[in-house]
Amino acid sequence: MVRVVKEVDLVAYADQPVARLSGGQYSRVSLAVALLTAPTCW
């Protein structure tokens, strides 16, 4: 999971509640969750 957080550049916000993130950061969280749940998208 740490690798995915690094890939979407959210390490500095990893301890923040999702509700406190900006719209762009929220989108990156959504992408990270998608990568974690469906890693074989290629």
HEC readout, the chain = CHHHHHHCCCHHHCCCCHHHCCHHHHHHHHHHHHHHHCCCCC
Please give the pLDDT value at position 20.
Answer: 92
Mean pLDDT of 6-31: 88
Number of domains in the chain: 1
**pLDDT exceeds cutoff 90 at 32:** no
Q: CA angle, 7 as apex, 28 and 20 as ends, to 5°?
A: 35
Query: Is 0.95 topped by the overall pTM?
Result: no
Domain encompassing residue 14: 2-37
Asked whether residue 13 is domain-assigned, the answer is yes
Asked whether residue 42 is domain-assigned, the answer is no
Asked whether residue 10 is domain-assigned, the answer is yes
Asked whether residue 7 is domain-assigned, the answer is yes
pLDDT band at residue 22 using 50, 70 and 90 as cut-offs: very high
pLDDT band at residue 24 using 50, 70 and 90 as cut-offs: very high
The residues, ordered by sequence, that sit 6+ positions from 34 with a Cβ below 8 Å of its Cβ are 41
